[in-house]
Amino acid sequence: MIAKLKGLIDSLGEDWAVIDVGGVGYLVFCSGRTLGRLGVGEGAEVMVETHVREDHIHLYGFIDAVERDWFRLLTTVQGVGARVTLGLLTVLSPDELVQAIAAADKAAITQAPGVGPKLATRILSELKDKVGTVALAVAAGGQPAAGIEGVGGAVSDAASALVNLGYQPFQALSAVSRAAGRLGEGADVEALIRGGLSELAPVDARGSV
């Protein structure tokens, strides 16, 4: 089982790279995010997920463990194969995936090739609780399950504050993510907490929050 490759980039394609390790060229399928960090003739080290089937052995390469672990998580969803997962990791960074799933943003998920509305709904449904818990574990300084680095900074701190107030992790992260999208990148923790509480408040009470 190959877990990591370190060598020179021999050639690059639309969704693959050939890595020369001691004169042996390994064909590794990669996301656009990973391919964008590789250059022909340059040294590289990629994390590898090996898939063994009756008719083939495929290697999938990742620039870091975060992307590799997202690959593992996404492929647990029924109907999400390796190629679809690489497409998701190409159009959305790990942080963007966390926020898209937390906010139930179907439009963001369907940007990936091969992901229609039904599959996007399944992805959001099956991963929402896992992603919310993981992201907040990171915010609290714990070790994330499956090694996924989630939302950082003010969004995590604000979501953690709402959890401390009694809200469920996914509920808190979803509300703060929506508030962050509305308030913009410059919003601080206090503003995000207020915005998250506003999102969680009943519609008729939001004017007083």
Selecting from 2.40.50.140, 1.10.1740.10, 1.10.3720.10, 3.30.43.10, what CATH number does the domain 4-63 have? 2.40.50.140
Whole-structure pTM value: 0.69
> Where do we find the tokens 């439009």?
107
Architecture of domain 66-202: Orthogonal Bundle (1.10)
Instruction: Say what the pLDDT of residue 157 is.
Output: 82
Per-residue DSSP letters for 105-152? -HHHHTTSTT--HHHHHHHHHHHHHHHHHHHHHHHTT-PPGGG-----
107 Cβ contact partners less than 8 Å away, ≥ 6 residues apart: none
C-alpha span between 103 and 205 (Å, rounded): 21
Instruction: Say what the pLDDT of residue 206 is.
Output: 44
Find the helix or strand (DSSP H, E) in which 203 lies.
none
Q: Where are the domains of the chain?
A: 4-63, 66-202
Per-residue pLDDT of the chain (209 residues; tens, 9 = 90+): 899 999 999 999 999 999 999 999 999 999 999 999 999 999 999 999 999 988 889 999 999 888 898 899 899 999 999 999 999 999 998 878 877 887 788 999 999 999 999 999 999 999 876 765 555 544 444 433 333 334 456 777 888 888 888 887 767 777 887 787 788 777 888 998 999 899 888 644 444 44
163 Cβ contact partners less than 8 Å away, ≥ 6 residues apart: 136, 169, 172
Q: Quote the DSSP letter at residue 21.
A: E
Q: Is 12 helix (H, G, I), strand (E, B) or coil?
A: strand
How does strand 4-12 pair with strand 16-21?
antiparallel
